[in-house]
Amino acid sequence: MNFITGINSTASALQAEKTRMDVVAENIANAHTTRDANGEAYKRKVVSFQTALDASTGSTGVRVSKISDDTTPGDVIHDPQHPHADKDGMVQMPNVNTAMEMVDLISASRAYEANLSVARNARQMATKALSIGR
């Protein structure tokens, strides 16, 4: 018995958007990381979502299907003093564009807010329904 209908879809969306925000945080944090576990420059992470059917309620939610690497090449800059510079003094920088990450952050944060509004409204509807005849 669930009085706030649709809340399960909203909860899954909140979880998904939070993951997206976490990934943006990861990308921004590693905007200048020139070495990862494989000895290469950091690769920007991208989140993709997919629908998820909740069998117990029959509602369709969303879940993170994959966190994949963005394979576009990053800038190569000339910095001979850099410890990771090759023999020509060139350094492979990560393919993170901070401005783009900020846009992603705004988008994720707005989507989160939208889902919060849905949750709030669903609750208000339930509360209003309880006050019928009062």
Partner 1 sequence: MIVGSFPNLTPAEIGLPVLEKSTPAADLAPSGKSASSSAGSGAGFSNFIERAIGEVDSKLQAAEGEKTKVLTGESNNLHQAVIAMQEANVAFSLMVEVRNKLVEGYQELMRMQV
Residues that bind partner 1 (CB under 8 A): 1-4, 7, 10-11, 14-15, 18, 116, 119, 123, 126-127, 130
Region of 119 please: left (phi>0), alpha (psi -120 to 50) or beta.
Answer: alpha
Distance CA 89, CA 84 (A): 9
**CB 87 → partner 1: shortest distance, Å?**
45
Q: Which helix (H) or strand (E) holds 72?
A: none
Which CB, 55 or 129, lies closer to partner 1? 129
**CB 83 → partner 1: shortest distance, Å?**
35
Which CB, 14 or 93, lies closer to partner 1? 14
Which CB, 63 or 123, lies closer to partner 1? 123
Answer whether 119's CB lies under 8 Å from 17's CB. no
DSSP state of 84: T
Which CB, 6 or 70, lies closer to partner 1? 6
**CB 11 → partner 1: shortest distance, Å?**
5
Beta strands 60-69 and 76-78, pairing class: unpaired
